[in-house]
Chains A and B, each alone.
Chain A
Amino acid sequence: GDSVTQMEGPVTLSEEAFLTINCTYTATGYPSLFWYVQYPGEGLQLLLKATKADDKGSNKGFEATYRKETTSFHLEKGSVQVSDSAVYFCALHNAGNNRKLIWGLGTSLAVNP
């Protein structure tokens, strides 16, 4: 079945460091891919998405490119801030299974000043 694998956390960085959070997936066909973010004490919110191969999603300085050849959707940011401290979830939706999203386990990021 479909699955999403994220790098394990926690990830700890200093402010202004470069961030990469790896996400790879297994799915038939051409799924849509998402990154959600959960700030402390809050629900998840959509950060960015990509719906077809080679699409780049971007928001708030974060980017992720849908790479079908490597089945990956890695999240990157050039210069993190303390306010980026959160849990990041990668997810996919496969039109062949139209009833739910498939979630990664989440990666916790802590950014120190």
Chain B
Amino acid sequence: EAQVTQNPRYLITVTGKKLTVTCSQNMNHEYMSWYRQDPGLGLRQIYYSMNVEATDKGDVPEGYKVSRKEKRNFPLILESPSPNQTSLYFCASSLKVHYEQYFGPGTRLTVT
């Protein structure tokens, strides 16, 4: 089954404790992206990757890191989480940026 998986689905953590949210797709897609969704602010892109070893900042990259060492995986790293990073996070992938994007189920992160 074609899918994008994210883990964990829910995470409660404390300020400053490094964490990684994993994202994996099984569709051989080139383009991958991380979004955060906040009430009233819609979807905002954090980082994206056009292909392996090609990542770039989106609209709200501060406080986040990513890597794309393999085509299927695109982890999101929060080196020192802060409460303003409490949000719902989505990973997405597509064959190319303008093709249909497939979204993961979301990761709800709470930073206290």
Seen from chain A, the residues whose Cβ lies within 8 Å of a Cβ on chain B are 32, 36, 41-46, 49, 89, 93, 95, 98-101, 103-106
Contact = CB atoms under 8 A, between A and B. Distances in A.
B98 A95 contact: yes
Given A89-B42, A99-B56, A44 B48 contact: no
Contact of A103 (B4, B40, B43, B48): B43
Interface of B: 4, 33, 40-43, 45, 48, 50, 56, 58, 90, 92, 97-98, 100-106
B35 to A, nearest CB: 8
A101 B97 contact: yes
A37 B43 CA distance: 12
Contact of B58 (A44, A100, A105): A100
> Which of A36, A44, A105, A106 has the most chain B CB within a 10 Å cutoff?
A44
B98 A32 contact: yes
B101 A100 contact: no
Contacts of A49: 100
Contacts of B42: 89, 103-106
Contacts of B43: 44, 89, 103, 106
B103 A45 contact: yes
Contacts of A106: 42-43
Given A41-B106, A100-B48, A100-B97, 10 more contacts: A44-B103, A49-B100, A98-B97, A99-B97, A100-B33, A100-B58, A101-B97, A103-B43, A105-B41, A105-B42
A60 to B, nearest CB: 15
What are the 3 A-B residue pairs with the smallest beta carbon separation, nearest first? A43-B103, A105-B42, A93-B98
Nearest to B106: A43
B41 A43 contact: no
A43 B98 contact: no
B104 to A, nearest CB: 5
5 contacts: A36-B101, A43-B92, A93-B98, A100-B33, A105-B40
Give the one of A42, A43, A101 with max B CB within 10 A. A43
